[in-house]
């Protein structure tokens, strides 16, 4: 009997020890299904630090597969060893989560519901931060838009806040490669619809645009972007909106970091220094420590803006290629106009009043069946970066305008626009503008490129047909950069009507067509007279003298 009792006791002890060991293992990492308001459950990994808790939480929501918790524990120690509970969740309809995946449509509500569930757990202090790059950064923005009070700070890396202006239809033109190729990789096939796709900026986009929530968002955020990233302007827009228009808590508590990098490895002959990238995690954890733990580390008192000023990468003595700081964005500058002239000239001189008809405009034929190929730029899943444009710029459907070689380096920091006077013989068409840094050896380094669909010239909430031959003023928003055009370089712009497959080619028809065979060619014209002065507008922060250029190095 005594032996039997001993065996039972031993069994109970071993069982209890086993349960305690399992509980300890469960405490370090576990996977749960968190219910959303509609009953759909989202798969979520939870990693807890050692100790009793509760802990502040760092959350990421991803469409790219969180993976099994036991295989991710080592990677998440960068958080748990610093005293943070780490939570990673598969977005709705992705991998282990239930439901249908609809890119960035459900993330505001799902973000709120996830924050609500986490904030009620006994291991959570009620203070949650989010971090992530690309899609993960966008879901962090959507969680901030949801207004949940437990979200105390964000770190958004190469993300955006507007599905229309930053990633869907910049300039009203469908960003083809990003949307269709990226969605195809997420298991969402392209829509079988006539082309090109025209969408106005309506309520379906507006309700998912962070700009309409700025005055309600209280979340201190670091926005980290790259000058050659596909969402570069999105990071800047979010910083400006939250810094200057955000609610109490957000306004004045934002940071912006912009480096010389993109959504992948930069291609081309220009090689920026290794330290031009996004940097290490130090500032990120200081950000979490400040807003989630209350540490008085002073991170919020540091300069609000840190940006990499690009320069000539072939000339070691050239100004630029260094990090700068500023208390606001954009830095103070002088808007300087560079006017288009006949003969491919770009100059600060305005067009002459008595220009001849031959000098008044330039016309090219745009054939949708033979669009200008994409070579570099702010791409995703295409070669990206400041690639040489000479292989496409000599085409007859590309107009080139460039300055004389610069006598002094010209520093440009901020948002750049091209104001064109254009006409077409089609009902509708596109105009695509590239900003180019022309090196003395002829290398045409792409700096920025963006399109404008003519039907949206009066605003993106309406479509207006063009009248053949009528001249219209349009503004092509080229987004932002920070660059020194070095002495001896030329500042140039290239104007065409296509850049494929980065942007979907326009058929030049008012209604979409079922086949490219139904597309028509268009005669497109850029006018540059005293009355119609097409121009490039640059935010010039400095024109270097010889001494200044030398001193900068």
Residue 224 lies in a domain: yes
pLDDT at 402: 98
- Domain shared by 194 and 124, yes or no: yes
- Domain shared by 220 and 287, yes or no: yes
pLDDT at 17: 32
Distance CA 404, CA 110 (A): 55
Distance CA 533, CA 231 (A): 31
Q: Could you read off the pLDDT of 176-227 as tens digits, one per residue?
A: 999 999 989 998 888 899 999 999 999 999 999 999 999 999 999 999 999 9
Q: Which helix (H) or strand (E) holds 10?
A: helix 2-28
- Domain shared by 368 and 281, yes or no: no
Residue 221 lies in a domain: yes
- Domain shared by 280 and 187, yes or no: yes
pLDDT at 534: 98
Residue 310 lies in a domain: no
pTM: 0.93
- Domain shared by 85 and 36, yes or no: yes
Residue 312 lies in a domain: no
Q: What is the CATH number of the domain that holds 116?
A: 3.40.50.1820
Distance CA 44, CA 46 (A): 7
Distance CA 241, CA 421 (A): 30
pLDDT at 359: 84
pLDDT at 174: 98
What are phi and psi for residue 494, nearest 5 degrees? -115, 130
Q: How many domains does the chain have?
A: 2
> Which residues are within 8 A (CB) of 488 and not within 5 positions of it... i.e. 6 or more apart?
405, 406, 440
- Domain shared by 386 and 491, yes or no: yes
CA distances from 424 to 172, 393, 394, 463, 519 (A): 17, 21, 22, 16, 15
pLDDT at 548: 58
Q: Among 540, 482, 451, 485, which Cα is nearest to 226's?
A: 482
- Domain shared by 412 and 488, yes or no: yes
Residue 19 lies in a domain: no
**Mean pLDDT, 10 residues at a time, over the chain (553 residues)?**
38 34 54 98 98 96 96 94 98 98 97 98 98 98 98 98 97 95 89 96 97 98 98 98 97 97 94 86 91 96 96 96 97 98 97 84 98 97 97 98 98 98 98 98 98 98 97 98 98 98 98 97 98 98 76 50
Residue 307 lies in a domain: no
- Using the Cα atoms of residue 456, residue 459, residue 462 and residue 468 in order, give the sign of their dihedral: negative
Residue 118 lies in a domain: yes
Distance CA 508, CA 445 (A): 29
Tell me, letter by letter, the H, E, C secondary structure of 52-115.
CCCEEEEEEEECCCCCCHHHHCCCCHHHHCCCCEEEEEECCCCCCCCCCCCCCCCHHHHHHHHH
Q: What is the CATH number of the domain that holds 416?
A: 2.60.120.260
Cβ pair 489, 318 in contact under 8 A: no
Residue 520 lies in a domain: yes
Residue 281, Cβ neighbours under 10 Å: how many?
13
- Domain shared by 428 and 525, yes or no: yes
* Structural domain range at position 443: 334-503+513-551
pLDDT at 546: 65
Distance CA 232, CA 46 (A): 31
Q: Which one of 282, 297, 312 terminates a domain?
A: 297
Check residue 444 and give left, alpha or beta (phi > 0: left; psi -120 to 50: alpha): beta
- Domain shared by 279 and 356, yes or no: no
Where does 425-521 show beta strands of DSSP type E? 430-438, 444-453, 472-485, 490-496
- Domain shared by 57 and 176, yes or no: yes
pLDDT at 358: 77
- Domain shared by 227 and 347, yes or no: no
Distance CA 433, CA 170 (A): 13
- Domain shared by 243 and 374, yes or no: no
Cβ pair 228, 262 in contact under 8 A: yes
Residue 277, Cβ neighbours under 10 Å: how many?
14
- Report the Cα–Cα distance between both ends of the chain, in Å, rounded: 90
pLDDT at 8: 35
């Amino acid at each position: 009997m005594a032996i039997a009792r001993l065996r039972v006791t031993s069994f109970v002890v071993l069982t209890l020890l086993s349960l305690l060991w399992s509980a300890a293992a469960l405490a370090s990492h576990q996977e749960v299904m968190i219910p959303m308001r509609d009953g759909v459950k989202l798969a979520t990994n939870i990693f807890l630090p050692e100790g009793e808790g509760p802990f502040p939480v760092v959350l990421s929501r991803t469409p790219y597969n969180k993976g099994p918790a036991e295989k991710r524990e080592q990677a998440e120690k960068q958080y748990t060893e610093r005293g943070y509970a780490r939570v990673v969740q598969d977005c709705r309809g992705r991998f282990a989560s239930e439901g249908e995946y609809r890119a960035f449509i459900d993330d505001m509500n799902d973000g709120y519901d996830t924050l609500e569930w986490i904030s009620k757990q006994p291991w959570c202090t009620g203070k949650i931060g989010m971090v992530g790059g690309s899609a993960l950064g966008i879901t962090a923005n959507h969680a901030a838009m949801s207004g949940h009070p437990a979200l105390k700070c964000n770190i958004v890396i190469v993300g955006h806040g507007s599905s229309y202006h930053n990633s869907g239809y910049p300039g009203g033109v469908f960003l083809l490669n990003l949307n269709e190729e990226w969605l195809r990789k997420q298991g969402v096939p392209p829509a079988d619809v006539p082309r090109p796709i025209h969408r106005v900026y309506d309520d379906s986009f507006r309700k998912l645009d962070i700009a309409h929530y700025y005055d309600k968002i209280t979340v201190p955020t670091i926005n980290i972007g790259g000058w050659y990233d596909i969402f570069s302007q999105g990071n800047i827009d979010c910083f400006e909106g939250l810094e200057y228009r955000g609610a109490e808590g957000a306004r004045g508590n934002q940071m912006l970091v912009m480096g010389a990098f993109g959504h992948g490895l930069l291609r081309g002959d220009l090689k920026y220094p290794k330290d031009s990238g996004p940097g290490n995690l130090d500032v990120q954890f200081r950000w979490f420590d400040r807003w989630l733990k209350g540490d008085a580390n002073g991170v919020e008192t540091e300069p609000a803006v840190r940006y990499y000023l690009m320069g000539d990468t072939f000339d070691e003595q050239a100004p630029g290629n260094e990090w700068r700081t500023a208390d606001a964005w954009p830095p103070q500058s002088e808007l300087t106009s560079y006017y288009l002239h006949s003969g491919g000239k770009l100059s600060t001189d305005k067009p002459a009043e008595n220009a001849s008809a031959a000098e008044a405009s330039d016309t090219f034929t745009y054939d949708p069946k033979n669009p200008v190929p994409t070579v570099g730029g702010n791409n995703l899943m295409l070669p990206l970066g400041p690639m040489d444009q000479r292989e496409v710029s000599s085409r007859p459907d590309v107009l080139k305008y460039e300055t004389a070689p610069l006598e002094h380096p010209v520093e440009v920091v901020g948002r750049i626009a091209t104001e064109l006077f254009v006409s077409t013989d089609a009902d509708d068409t596109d105009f695509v503008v590239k900003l180019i840094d022309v090196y003395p050896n002829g290398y045409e380094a792409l700096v920025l490129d963006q399109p404008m669909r003519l039907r949206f010239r009066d605003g993106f909430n309406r479509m207006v047909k063009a009248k053949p031959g009528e001249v219209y003023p349009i503004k092509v928003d080229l987004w932002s950069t920070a660059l020194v055009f070095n002495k001896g370089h030329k500042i140039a712009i290239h104007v065409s009507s296509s850049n494929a497959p980065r942007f979907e080619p326009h058929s030049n028809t008012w209604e979409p067509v079922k086949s490219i065979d139904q597309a028509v060619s268009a005669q497109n014209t850029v006018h540059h007279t005293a009355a119609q002065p097409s121009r490039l507008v640059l935010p010039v922060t400095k024109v270097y003298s010889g001494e200044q250029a030398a001193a900068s190095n």
